[in-house]
Amino acid sequence: MPASPIRKLVPYADAAKKRGTKVYHLNIGQPDLPTPRKALDALKHIDRTTLEYSHSAGLLSLRKALTGYYRRYGIEITTDELMVTCGGSEALLLTFLSCFNPGDEFIMIEPGYANYLGFAVTAGLKVRSVPSRIEDGFALPPIEEFEKVITPATKGILICNPNNPTGYVYSREELETLRDIVKRHDLFLIADEVYREFRYNGMPYVSALTLEGVEDNVIVVDSVSKRYSECGTRIGMLVTHNKDVLAAVMKFAQSRLSPPLLGQIVAEASIEGTEDYAKACFDEYKARRDFFIEGLNKIPGVYSPMPEGAFYTVASLPVEDAEDFAKWCLTDFSWEGATVMMAPAAGFYSDKELGKNQVRMAYVLCKEDLAAALKCLEEALKAYNNR
């Protein structure tokens, strides 16, 4: 089981804090924006005498609210075509367990969310990677690269759109290219669409669920964690038109009984009447992105493409080993009593020779803290390379 590149350096960060060093956390996508007041009020005023199990697919009232949410994005589904899960993580794991057998292969565009690799190990799957390039802004690789890695054991393609860790947003044309290869080889297309709200390029959003001709091939993984700053509620969704997949997933869902009741209550309260909240979050993240990426690219030797979505970027640093540098920042460095924590990007590739001089950073801090983190990074690079 691979260690999480997002959390593996936590013991060093904890030790730095014990020494009195302030740590600016750019390593994890934990939003600092408040959860909607409407959702917190629903939690405070729960009017139940028993905190019972819900249906294994989730509360019917929540699933009804979610069908209305998806309709805003041109996605027509019924309450029987989605399942509420214990976060987007469980939605993906249940997809792997339901659609693949041990020894099967799936294709993943890299760098990709690090926990995909861990879920693959859990389900006994082999990852076939198709690397995207920082020089291309992490755009979809040529379709020929996918064809090269398809074998008789290949059963699916996994994408994240908008992408974690790169922030890239796949266009309709790119998704239709994937649609064609999925149809040609009869593969599953698993789309992690957790960051749907956070797209900064002004283009209409295209969900994999709206692609024509592959309705039974598409499974969408989703979550309320980031759109409502509700990471701790552990509420996600698995959405598909494929009845056989849903029937298989239900067997696993029944074995874990039900998703969290309190989280479902909070999630349901978040869906309607939070439009102003969503707009304010979008504006704030866009402003942070513009500020942070401009600041990164002013640091000598640092390069980051402009992310089009989510709230992450993968940047290259003027170091040979970004993991060693990130660890050193926590163990040996401080600037005016502070340091910065990053996620080494090599952990977002299955090929450990890729991404060795890259880090993933999340711009989930306020501008003042981002400015301080950028200064720490600049001074750390100077000190590290002058040792």
Contact 86, 256 (CB under 8 A): yes
Structure confidence at residue 68 (pLDDT): 97
Question: pLDDT at position 1, please?
Answer: 84
Angle in degrees, CA 221, 223, 355, rounded to 5: 70
Last residue of a domain, one of 247, 271, 295: 271
| Domain range enclosing 288 | 10-34+276-385
Distance (Å, whole) CA 377 – CA 190:
36
Same-domain status, 76 and 211? yes
Given the DSSP bridges, would you call strands 22-25 and 338-341 parallel, antiparallel or unpaired? parallel
Q: Give 79's strand partners.
A: none
Residue 44 lies in a domain: no
Q: Enter the tokens of residue 233.
A: 């509620």
pLDDT of residue 44: 96
- Which pLDDT belongs to residue 8? 84
Where residue 215 sits, what CATH number does that domain have? 3.40.640.10
For residues 233 and 366, membership in a common domain is answered with no
How high is the mean pLDDT in each 10-residue block of the chain (387 residues)?
82 96 94 95 95 97 98 96 98 98 97 93 96 96 96 98 97 96 98 97 93 97 97 97 98 97 98 95 97 98 98 98 97 97 92 91 96 98 96
Handedness of CA 196, 302, 22, 10 (dihedral sign): positive
d(CA 23, CA 325): 15
221's CB contacts (< 8 A; 6+ apart) are 88, 91, 92, 95, 190, 191, 192, 193, 194, 236, 237, 238
Contact 131, 141 (CB under 8 A): yes
Number of folded domains in the chain? 2
Answer left, alpha or beta for residue 76, where phi above 0 means left and psi between -120 and 50 means alpha. Answer: beta
Tokens at residue 195, please? 């960051």
Residue 58: is it exposed, middle or buried by C-beta count within 10 angstroms (0-12/13-18/19+)?
Answer: buried
- Both 239 and 341 in a single domain? no
Same-domain check for residues 229 and 126 = yes
Residues 18 and 146 in one domain: no
Whether 200 and 324 share a structural domain: no
